[in-house]
Amino acid sequence: MLPPIKLLQSIFARRKSIAVVGISPKKHRPSHQVARYLFDAGFTVVPVNPGQNEILGLPCYPDLLSIDRSIDIVNIFRSSEHVLPIVRDAITIGAKVIWMQEGIINDSAAEVARQAGLQVIMDRCIKTDHMQFAAGGFCSSG
């Protein structure tokens, strides 16, 4: 289900730092391609993968709690059963948005995030939505 376009536009306009949890160092993987797109679009991208020291030429953190800067959006590329601990860490660090990538659905984790005041986008690709719905990018003529 498509979240309201105004919500997506607001997120993209106001939220500039994105932790990409589960990013792959492999350039052909969707997580890497999405993070590269977000970086090129002007977002501050913070890679999170415990098995890597650097991705996209950026320091890579083992988990959200290790990040030394504020994070607005936690973009999750982990399977649905791994989402809840990530959401709990996102709440701890003061993130504002949980974004579960396309194919990732965890209703109970989404409810925990909402109860803590976070906005939740689930089962959607942040790159696709940014390309289509960022301010000025929405085309109503289809």
* Token pair in block for residue 9: 């536009």
Task: Judge whether 16 lies within some domain.
Answer: yes
Indicate the average pLDDT of the chain.
93
For residue 22, give the CATH number of its domain: 3.40.50.720
Count the domains in the chain. 1
Query: Please, which pLDDT band fits residue 3 given cuts at 50, 70 and 90?
Result: confident
| Domain limits for position 45 | 5-133
Q: How many helices (H) and strands (E) does the chain have?
A: 5, 7
* Token pair in block for residue 135: 């301010």
Task: Judge whether 139 lies within some domain.
Answer: no
Task: Judge whether 141 lies within some domain.
Answer: no
Calpha distance 83→107 (Å, rounded): 10
Task: Judge whether 64 lies within some domain.
Answer: yes
Task: Judge whether 101 lies within some domain.
Answer: yes
pLDDT tens-digit map of 66-92: 999 999 999 999 999 999 999 999 999
Task: Judge whether 138 lies within some domain.
Answer: no
Angle between helices 107-115 and 83-93 (to 10 degrees): 10
The alpha-carbon radius of gyration of the chain (Å, integer) is 14
pLDDT of 126 above 60 = yes
- Residues 92-101, mean pLDDT to the nearest whole number: 98
